[in-house]
Each structure stands twice: as C-alpha cells, then as structure tokens.
Amino acid sequence: MSQSLAAAGTATRPLAELALTGDLNRPARLTVPDLLAWPQHDADVSFECATSGTRHHRFTGPLLHDVLATARPGFDPARRKDRLRFLIAVSGTDGHHALLSWAEIDPDFGRAPVLLAVSIDDTSLDRAGPQLVLPQDRCGARHISGITAIRVDGGYTSWT
Ligand SMILES: Nc1nc2c(c(=O)[nH]1)N[C@H]1C(S)=C(S)[C@@H](COP(=O)(O)O)O[C@H]1N2
Ligand SMILES: [Mo]
C-alpha cells in the first residue's frame, strides 16, 4: 500500500474510546493515548486457546488497578472490607465480556498485575482499543481485546 493510502486508511478510523462507568466518583472516557499518562508496565504472556493452541504476546500498558483507582470507586479507601463487594465488568466491541472482583487486582488482596494494554507485540492499540492482560491466567479467554467499557459495581451488599 502507498504511503498516502495507508495514511488515508488510518485517518478514516478514529481513536477507540473506553468508557469507565458505574460506581465511580470520576467516570471517564479514555483513549489509548490517554492511558499513557499512568506508569507503564510490560508483560510477556503465554496462554492457551481452546481453538488455536498456545499463544505468546508481549503487552505494555498501565495497571487496571491504577486506572480505576484514579476514577475513585465509591468505597472508603481506608476501609479494606468495604472494597470486597465491588465487581469489575469488562466488555469488548464484539460483546465478549468477563467479570473480575476488585479484590482480585487490589494490592492488599489478590494483587493480580492485570494490565490495560496499549500495545500488543509492539503494535499500538490506538485504533483497536485497549486489551485486558491477565498474566496469571492459563487460558486466553479473559484477554479481552477492543475494550469499549469497564463498569465498576459495588451493589452486591447482601446475599441473604
Ligand atoms: N473481544 C474479544 N476478545 C477476546 C476474545 C473474543 O472473542 N473477543 N477471545 C479470547 C480468547 S478465547 C482467546 S484464546 C484470546 C486469543 O487471542 P489471540 O488469538 O490474539 O492470541 O483472545 C481473547 N480475547
Ligand atoms: Mo480461546
């Protein structure tokens, strides 16, 4: 493809946007370039796919926990127990979605180094949208690509 055609193709596809919604004091809409404002981490991951076997990728991006903490979830940060009722719902453009618990990524609990990747294998995700990276997962299914929304939900106060 010529330079001009490549440039035109890029120009017609806008930057992807990710909505942070739910029980947040500072909900936000973020592009991949916006996600460069947080400290960046690298992850070399291997995971298994039921259909395509073992996959390897190198990702970079901020910690999901750091980005969501900036959005100020509706719990008292000083009270550890208050965080345990929060869920995180992550959705991709194609409707693929998964739930995480807040405690899974909280440094005081599960401490999983989950990333919101801004690049995969040295290719920017500016236009495809960020990807969830869970280095602790054996399977690939939660590595959701093209994330459009992350909803934080603290509504699970009682199961009685
Ligand atoms: N948005 C979205 N992300 C997705 C999926 C999907 O269907 N939709 N499939 C998942 C599954 S099952 C796997 S194994 C990995 C595969 O990633 P790869 O083929 O890019 O290595 O992507 C995950 N991310
Ligand atoms: Mo998969």
Q: For the whole model, what pTM was predicted?
A: 0.92
- Alpha-carbon distance of 20 to 119, in angstroms, equals 19
Angle formed at CA 107 by CA 102 and CA 72, multiple of 5 degrees: 55
| Cβ 140 vs Cβ 123: under 8 Å | no
Taking the CA of 144 as reference, the closest ligand is 1
Beta carbon of 143 within 6 Å of any ligand 1 atom: yes
**DSSP letter for each residue of 56-103:** EEEEEE-BHHHHHHHT-BSS-TT-GGGGGG-EEEEEETTS-EEEEEHH
Other CB atoms within a 10 A radius of the CB of residue 153 amount to: 17
> Which pLDDT score, from 0 to 100, does residue 138 have?
98
Beta carbon of 97 within 6 Å of any ligand 1 atom: no
CA–centroid distance, 125 to ligand 2, in Å, is 20
pLDDT of residue 5 exceeding 90: no
Fold classification of 15-153 is Sulfite Oxidase; Chain A, domain 2 (3.90.420)
DSSP state for residue 108 in the 8-state scheme: T
pLDDT digits (tens, 9 = 90+) for 96-120: 999 999 999 999 999 999 999 999 9
Reported confidence tier of residue 1, pLDDT bands at 50, 70, 90: very low
Pocket test for ligand 1, best of 58, 134, 143, 150 (most atoms within 8 A of CB): 143
Taking the CA of 145 as reference, the closest ligand is 1
